[in-house]
Structures are given as structure tokens and as C-alpha cells.
Chains A and B, each alone.
Chain A
């Protein structure tokens, strides 16, 4: 390369790197400013410290709950519920979609029911779940599943049906069975839709679990939020909120990395 170009390229790279650093530093600064402001506002009574708590008291509570290990149970319960809800909702939705694809008759029969179920706010069915599964973790997981499974079914079934007919024709000309058609064309063609359903469902599973815990649970972060609210312990509410935000983000990022991995051979 000619030296002048080389130099320009170097400048370009340095500039890009600096931009990246500035963005990151600004992000950190905003977070620090927010936390400090919150702390100051609370100490100086600009906001009611009983209701809005403060970073230091949230931190103290965190330390004490870690010390008496009560926090781990709640985090563990919520994580387990979310992971199960997420997996069952996603895999179940894909399974139902496969079933609908398999039987066009049934899919036409079930169509209006699915539309109604999809339109219904699933949270409204919460009391039903408690009656069916009892006031325990199963109900919470069921809530998470319910929220994600219908929409997963619709999205995946839609992807199945939108598969390029000519690709199906290719395997048909070789005399493919229905199973071969499904396995060699429908599934791989809908693969991107399934992978992106993962990402959507992580978010939905969190919604379902938190709502489920509001309704029935006596363990978990959602429960802590409601409990803290009832006993007027807003340190606990804030701590739980922050933990939910962090955990949900970590899980979402994990799925995003998984998505990248699963899509590494596609573009």
C-alpha cells in the first residue's frame, strides 16, 4: 500500500477507536450521574427516601441479603422459572406449529381458537392457572409458557407456510415423504424464524414469571417486589427491580450470543 494511504487508514482506525471510547465513557458517566443524583436527592430529601429508597440503602440490603444467603433462593427460583418457561414456551410453540403444518385440516379447524387465544391478554388467565396448577412454581412457569407459546406458534407456523414452494417442489420431484419435506426443507427454511423467536421469548418469559410471582408465589424476585411493596420496604422493591433488570439483560445477551452462534452458517 502506498504510505500516504496507509497513514490515512491508520488515522481512520484511531478515530474509530476514539469514538468507541467516548461512547463508552459517556455511558458510564450517565450511569454514575444517575446513581449519584439519586443518592443526593434521597439524602437531601428532594425525593422521599422511604418511597424512592437510595443507592446506598439498596446496596446495604444487597450485602445483608447476600450475607444471610436469603437472596440466592429468590434469584434461583426466578431464574429456574424463567428458563423453564422460556424453553417450554419456545419448544412447545414449535411443536404445535409442526403439528398444525402436519394437518392442514386441523390447522383450519383450530385457526379461530388460536386467534382468540392470541388476542386474549394471557395475564387475565392467571387465576385459572392457580386453580389448575395450585399456588406454586408450576403456575408461575405456566404463566410464562402461556404468554410465549401462542405467539411462538403463530410466528413459526407462518414461517413454515411461507417456505418457498419451489424448494418444496425440488424435493417432491425426488419423491420426498412428508417427513422428508419437513426435515429437509421446512425446518431449515424456518430456522431463522425459530432463532429469532428465542430472543422474543426470553423477554416474554420474564414478563410471565414476574406476573406469575406477583399472583401466587412466596419466593422469587417478583415476589420480593410485591412483598416489599406490601410491607413498605422500598429498598427491597428497588433491589429486586435492579436485579431483574440485570438478570434479564444477561439472559437476553446470552440468547443473542446463542443466536449468533446458531446463525453462523447463514447470512
Chain B
């Protein structure tokens, strides 16, 4: 069963002088437990799609359904992780996580214990009392993941969560996030610029056209890549072939602009 359904979704932005067509026509089904990546040229509308799914902005036409119910506003069923960690610099790590529980009014002893367990899984159990400024970029991004998971969303939206990190940290974090999400049976939609990352992490990759965004192609990843952790998938001989294939498509798109 599809957890998330986009049906002929369109989005226009209005300004004083003109109307910007950001999303032309997107139809997409994401099944429960699936990991889907969206890649596409810069400024094609990837963040816009996530914002609409998160209920932060309204779509202009079409339908967005979560478990067959239209999304009208933000909901705790959907977690959204931004490009940077955006931890509150004035709160400790523990308080930063608790804020998710506080706002969703679910701050119970149980839920708090659950988040501390997550923090432990992220290898940060001893940093609970630290301030964000005392943590490295990768650590902060892990805390942000815990905060996002604290509200127990069934669908996770990830907007280039690794782009601000160095390569090594990024590889390690890819593995950690992949493992955590699979273990918790979360469904995830990842936006990225990085083709390798998309191949390594996803079950399916959706390639968008230039703005106004439409789905240009969908790549279904083969079992041998899907089954492996991102790091292991990168070692597979077929990895390069997929990379070449998607690279070509993306390059074609980018040359369209130039």
C-alpha cells in the first residue's frame, strides 16, 4: 500500500510582477518502508516538493495524500530534516531533542527515554548536556535526526542532510541513517544533488526535469544495491554503471539550461 501519494501536483509561486511555475506535474507513490531519492538540477523545485508534503506550503493543484488522507497542514506523522542541523544554539543537546516532544505535546517519560535511546544509538549518549557549539557538524546532524525521529514520524523527509559535511563523515552518517531508518521501518524521501548518495541509499531514484519540475525518469535500484548498506553498495561493480547512466541524464538536463 502506498504511504504517500502525489497525484498531478502543481505549484505556482506568485510575486508582484509574475507567476513562477515551480512544479508542473508530479505523480508519485511511495510505499511504506521504501527509501526514495529525488535528484534534479539546481532550483528545479525539490525543496518545494518536500515543503508541500510537509504541509508547510500549499500546492496549487492536484492531491497529496498520506495514507489516503489529504495533507492540509503539518503533522507529526511527517518528519522533516533540513539541509543544516538548525539546532537551537541556546539549548543543550538534550533540550534540543525535547523541544520536539514539547511542541507535539508528547513529552512523557517513555518518549523521553525513547529519544535518549536514539541518541545512544547515534553514539552521542554522553553529549546530552553539551551545547550544540561543542559538537562537530556530523554530530549535530545526528542530533537533528534524533530530534526529527522524536515525534515518531512514519515518513521522513530529508533535504540534502549531508551536504554540509565532509566526505568521511557523510559516508559514515549515510550508513547510520540508512540502518536506523530500516530498523525502525521508516519510509524516507531524500532530496540530494549527489548521484552516488542517491544510488547508495535508495530503493528508487526519481529524476526531475528543469523547472517547472516534472518527473523525467525513475530508476529502480537492483536488489544487489538495495540490500546492501550505502557503504557496501558503493563497492559493488554495478554501482559505477548506474552512476554513469544517471550522470548522463542529469548532464543532458543541465546542458538544456546552458
> Which A residues are closer than 8 A to B by beta carbons?
164, 166-167, 169-176, 180, 184-185, 188-189, 191, 265-267
* Docked-complex contact A173 and B90, CB < 8 angstroms: no
Min CB gap B64→A, angstroms: 15
The complex places the Cα of A172 from the Cα of B148 at a distance, in Å, of 12
* Docked-complex contact B75 and A175, CB < 8 angstroms: yes
Choose one: B82, B90, B104; the contact of A169 (CB below 8 Å).
B82
**Which A residue sits closest to B78, measured CB to CB?**
A173
Which residues of chain B are near A265, meaning CB under 8 Å?
90
Which residues of chain B are near A185, meaning CB under 8 Å?
88
The complex places the Cα of A234 from the Cα of B141 at a distance, in Å, of 67
The complex places the Cα of A172 from the Cα of B76 at a distance, in Å, of 10
**Which B residue sits closest to A185, measured CB to CB?**
B88
Cβ of B151 within 8 Å of any chain A Cβ, yes or no, is: yes
* Docked-complex contact B80 and A173, CB < 8 angstroms: yes
- Which of B9-17, B95-103, B177-185, B190-198 contacts its partner? B95-103
* Docked-complex contact A188 and B90, CB < 8 angstroms: yes
The complex places the Cα of A169 from the Cα of B86 at a distance, in Å, of 9
State how many residues of chain B have any CB contact under 8 Å with chain A.
25
* Docked-complex contact B90 and A174, CB < 8 angstroms: no
Cβ of B48 within 8 Å of any chain A Cβ, yes or no, is: no
Choose one: B76, B84, B89; the contact of A175 (CB below 8 Å).
B76
Interface of A is mostly: helix
Min CB gap B91→A, angstroms: 8
Cβ of B45 within 8 Å of any chain A Cβ, yes or no, is: no
* Docked-complex contact B82 and A166, CB < 8 angstroms: yes
Cβ of B164 within 8 Å of any chain A Cβ, yes or no, is: no
A-B contact pairs, 30 of them (CB 8 A): A164-B86, A166-B86, A167-B86, A169-B82, A169-B86, A170-B82, A170-B86, A170-B88, A171-B99, A171-B103, A172-B56, A172-B74, A173-B56, A173-B78, A173-B79, A173-B80, A174-B74, A174-B100, A174-B103, A174-B104, A174-B151, A176-B103, A180-B103, A184-B88, A185-B88, A188-B88, A189-B90, A266-B89, A266-B90, A267-B133
Interface of B is mostly: loop
Cβ of B93 within 8 Å of any chain A Cβ, yes or no, is: no
Which residues of chain A are near B86, meaning CB under 8 Å?
164, 166-167, 169-170
Cβ of B238 within 8 Å of any chain A Cβ, yes or no, is: no
Min CB gap A170→B, angstroms: 5
Which residues of chain A are near B73, meaning CB under 8 Å?
175
Which residues of chain B are near A166, meaning CB under 8 Å?
82, 84, 86
Min CB gap B206→A, angstroms: 22
Cβ of B145 within 8 Å of any chain A Cβ, yes or no, is: no
Within 8 A of A (CB), among B80-125: 80, 82, 84, 86, 88-91, 99-100, 102-104
* Docked-complex contact B74 and A175, CB < 8 angstroms: yes
The complex places the Cα of A23 from the Cα of B185 at a distance, in Å, of 68
Which residues of chain B are near A174, meaning CB under 8 Å?
74, 76, 99-100, 103-104, 151
5 additional A-B pairs beyond A170-B86, A173-B56, A267-B133, beta carbons within 8 Å, are A170-B88, A173-B79, A175-B75, A180-B103, A188-B88
Cβ of B208 within 8 Å of any chain A Cβ, yes or no, is: no
The complex places the Cα of A180 from the Cα of B90 at a distance, in Å, of 16
Which residues of chain B are near A267, meaning CB under 8 Å?
133
Min CB gap B60→A, angstroms: 20
Which residues of chain A are near B56, meaning CB under 8 Å?
169, 172-173
Cβ of B54 within 8 Å of any chain A Cβ, yes or no, is: yes
The complex places the Cα of A167 from the Cα of B90 at a distance, in Å, of 12
Which residues of chain A are near B133, meaning CB under 8 Å?
267
Choose one: B54, B74, B80, B88; the contact of A167 (CB below 8 Å).
B88
**Which A residue sits closest to B106, measured CB to CB?**
A174
The complex places the Cα of A79 from the Cα of B177 at a distance, in Å, of 60
**Which B residue sits closest to A175, measured CB to CB?**
B74
Min CB gap B12→A, angstroms: 21
Choose one: A170, A184, A189; the contact of B102 (CB below 8 Å).
A184
Which residues of chain B are near A171, meaning CB under 8 Å?
99, 103
The complex places the Cα of A169 from the Cα of B51 at a distance, in Å, of 10
